[in-house]
Structure 1
Amino acid sequence: MTILVVDAGTSGVRSVALDADGTVVAEVLVEILPSSPGPGLVEIDAAATARAALATATSVLDQVGSVDAVGITNQRASTIAWDARSGDPVGPGIGWQDLRTVGRCLALQPEGIRIAPNASATKAEWLVQHSDVPAEHLRIGTVDTWLAWVLSGGSAHVTDASNALVTGLYDVAARDWSDELLDLLGVPRSVLATVTDSSGALAEATALPGSPPITALIGDQQASLLGQGCIHPGDTKLTLGTGGMLDICLGPDAGPTPAHGTFPMIGWRLGGVDTWAREAVMLSAGTCVEWLRDGLGVIDDVADSEALASSVPDAGDVVFVPALSGLGTPVWDHGARGLLVGITRGTTRAHLARAVLEGVALRAADLVDAAEADTGLRADVLRVDGGMSA
């Protein structure tokens, strides 16, 4: 058996073929970075994402011949609108780090509605308000939904429970979209996808050679949790990519009400049964290293950061707070901004690089503390993955 996985992350689209033992037999990556047309704005090129998914998947199929199934994993909460008639995106997608709806989220709080601006809910509202496409032809979804639509030639408008919950529009008790929130935000139910299990006979990828079946959809962090073997309560993983996401498996129970800035997550839904997790979020991790490269010119390649930081014994009293897109768990302050302090005439490029990496590491420690406090579980072993862990 050979499985094709299409992974659409924040910084690129990767297609991978794996054999029955889980060994990678082919892999193709196309880098697609989000754009920032203004302060607090993060946009994704939905058309480029679709082209990259088709190109990388087709290239992998050219190498392996055929596959038995296709799975899709994705950056969560980033939200895309498109016209069902043409299949074309309606403007750029809104990235999960985008802060344009912070004011709207704050305005909803007195009504008892707490929606994080990095969730899809107010992004979907914004897209509906700024679209000229009639509601009966408008489709809105997260990246998994968009890619399922593209790969199926427009026949599948689906998402799985792990992605649905992160939108902020999902009613856990009803196991469906929240009518109350949809009415409040003016988002027609018809524009949203059908919520499915994370695995099953979901669609056929007719846009790919051989039309292999699409049998899995799952958010990238939940895929990491499952892939790292975190299937028992207390099993914990940390992904350091564009942002930093710590997830701890809870099992069949959603756990106690969080008090330290973590979020209940559906890890995956199989056979209608949910496995729950709790997530702590660092909004900027790998983006801080990219900022060293692109914003300051301290390094030429992100891979150079480790060697440069290791060339000095400490950061020389330089301290970096990685709040380039605000602060997530445990304080959730989207107005916070990054700090780089303690610079003297003796500060070098190496000190800056080390301060940035130490700042990310200390924020990761915050995530562990918050997750343990909110779940009552101990993260005795921490499995780490993501681009920054390489």
Structure 2
Amino acid sequence: MTVLALDLGTSSVRGLVLDADAGPRLGALARRKMRLTTGEDGTGTLDGAGYLACLVECLDELAAGGHLEDVELVATSAQWHSVLPLGGDGEPLGPVLTWLDTRPEPLAGARGPGDAEAFHQRTGTWWHRCYWTVRVPWLREQAGGRVARFVGLVEYVLGALLDEAPPSVSMASGAGLLDLRRLDWDAEACDLAGARPEDLPALAPPGWQGRLRPGYARRWPQLADARWAAPVGDGAASNVGSGCVDASRAAVTVGTSAAVRLLEAAPAGAELPPLPERLWRYRVDHEHVVTGAAYSSGGNLFAWANRELRLPGGAELEAALARAAEDLRIVANPRFGGDRPPGLAPAGCGELRGLSFDTTAVDLLAGLMTGLCRWVAGDLAVLESRLDRPTEVVLGGGALAASAWWRAAFADALAPRTVRHQRNPEVGATGAALVALGRIAEAAHLKGIGRTDAPEP
């Protein structure tokens, strides 16, 4: 079976074609960079209509290259937490709030969950600006009552392309509105968001499949009969694409942002393991959950440094980072974009300490990248606290594929655990395809997982 995998990321939208073993077909990749609007006030938004247009361009490119001829299934990895207000005509009333936006705040006089701990255990989330429980009331007030409904970025995009696009349990969990055990809208979370469960669309059932709208089926006749699987949150998809599909292996993924996660089987109705207070938990699908911690900093640290500092390039930069690490005196707080939940630090809290007249641009970058490694190591220890032994770790994502030095820095920070590297940079798209194919367990044996110090093929 041939699969078209879509990755609806923050910095780019991508489409790639995979074979029956979820391996990429040579040359069958289309990508468009996205412009993320950021600001000193904590803004972190995308243009929804522009995003849809870029995805359409990617599909046009793949179709023109003859890559969609035998596609039978379309899988989607999509960013969690995004929200977009729509008017009565279905058109956006503003930009898409991404996970990076730290502006939403509880409205004056609003009260959070009655039992915060029970709410955390039930939904895997907190009453926090990252989730719809705070975002939707804040956006509604900003829009002045003009909003007809709210959708995530993926529901907006797929809603334009498909005959229907109900929220998946994975995306609903990332919004903070799902009872993870019952796999239905959580009444208290919906009340905090200003909605009733009965007013929300029905969640996509197990095995749900969508089809292209007639207009797009004529545009891409190769996809007219293709089945579209329910979308998977990007973090969950990345775990599967990294080969981390049980409690023996944790995934550390660094793309635009970063996260450490553990995936476990958890069928609907099954009792879930206790959730440590500083970790979140979301759904992969109807049979699995993923638990972990995420950070607003990741590959965007390098993007900032590359833009603002006079860094060497390529192998020269890697060698300079290695030299800087031998006597690293910079202590860094990489909270450039603020905290991801449950933290509340706003954007602009990044810090660099230990500067001297001998400090170089590479020293600054090494300090920032090492600071993130230490955060991940601390949260992994919390993630392992209920396990009987340390996990093996698999590093993945585009930022780690691009830097052997950063992989080595993570291996040092995570020692004495065994640390490996998934060389395929498209772990999200690959993971979404395996979820759609019902082959999550097979991901543990994916090709491309090797030692962190092994030469690149």
TM-score (norm 2): 0.75
Change (3 A) 1:183 1:199: same
Per the alignment, in what secondary structure is the counterpart of residue 203 of structure 2? strand
Q: State the 1:7 CA deviation.
A: 0.6
Change (3 A) 1:235 1:304: same
Q: Which runs of 5+ in 2 are unaligned?
A: 117-125, 402-457
Partner of 1:279: 292
Per the alignment, in what secondary structure is the counterpart of residue 159 of structure 1? coil
Contact 2:102 2:130 (8 Å CA) reproduced: yes
Change (3 A) 1:93 1:305: farther
Q: Please show how residues 198-209 of structure 1 align to structure 2 within 5 Å.
A: 199-204=207-212, 206=214, 207=216, 209=220
Q: CA-to-partner distance for each residue in 1:150-208, whole Å, 9 max, x for gaps?
A: 221xx313121111111112233543223333334323658754322475323336525
Partner of 2:368: 356
Per the alignment, in what secondary structure is the counterpart of residue 261 of structure 1? coil
Partner of 2:160: 150
Residue type of the alignment partner of 2:351: L
- The 1-side partners of 2:317 and 2:211 are apart by 42
Q: State the 1:313 CA deviation.
A: 4.2
Partner of 1:268: 285
Per the alignment, in what secondary structure is the counterpart of residue 350 of structure 1? helix
Q: Does 1:222 align with 2:225?
A: no
- Structure with the bigger RCO (C-alpha within 8 Å, sep 6+) is 2
Partner of 1:89: 92
Q: State the 1:340 CA deviation.
A: 0.3
Q: Does 1:141 align with 2:151?
A: yes
Partner of 2:351: 339
Q: State the 1:57 CA deviation.
A: 1.8
Contact 1:254 1:264 (8 Å CA) reproduced: no
Deviates more, 1:210-219 or 1:345-354: 210-219
Deviates more, 1:204-213 or 1:231-240: 204-213
- The 2-side partners of 1:292 and 1:230 are apart by 30
Contact 2:15 2:58 (8 Å CA) reproduced: yes
Partner of 2:412: none
Contact 1:308 1:354 (8 Å CA) reproduced: no
Deviates more, 1:252-261 or 1:35-44: 252-261
Partner of 1:98: 101
Change (3 A) 1:16 1:350: same
Change (3 A) 1:174 1:332: same
Residue type of the alignment partner of 1:284: S
Per the alignment, in what secondary structure is the counterpart of residue 38 of structure 2? coil
Per the alignment, in what secondary structure is the counterpart of residue 334 of structure 1? coil
Q: State the 1:383 CA deviation.
A: 1.1
Please tell me the root mean square deviation across aligned C-alpha atoms, in Å: 2.9
Structure 1 counterpart of 2:48, from 29, 46, 56: 46
Partner of 1:318: 330
After the TM superposition, which parts of structure 1 deviate over 6 Å for at least 4 consecutive aligned residues? Answer: 300-304
Residue type of the alignment partner of 1:122: V
Q: Which runs of 5+ in 1 are unaligned?
A: none
Per the alignment, in what secondary structure is the counterpart of residue 21 of structure 1? coil
Change (3 A) 1:65 1:244: closer
Per the alignment, in what secondary structure is the counterpart of residue 68 of structure 1? strand
Partner of 1:33: 35
Change (3 A) 1:378 1:104: farther
Q: State the 1:15 CA deviation.
A: 0.5
Q: Please show how residues 226-237 of structure 1 align to structure 2 within 5 Å.
A: 226-237=240-251
Contact 1:42 1:95 (8 Å CA) reproduced: yes
- The 2-side partners of 1:112 and 1:172 are apart by 17
Q: CA-to-partner distance for each residue in 1:88-108, whole Å, 9 max, x for gaps?
A: 222101111211124559953
- The 2-side partners of 1:194 and 1:51 are apart by 27
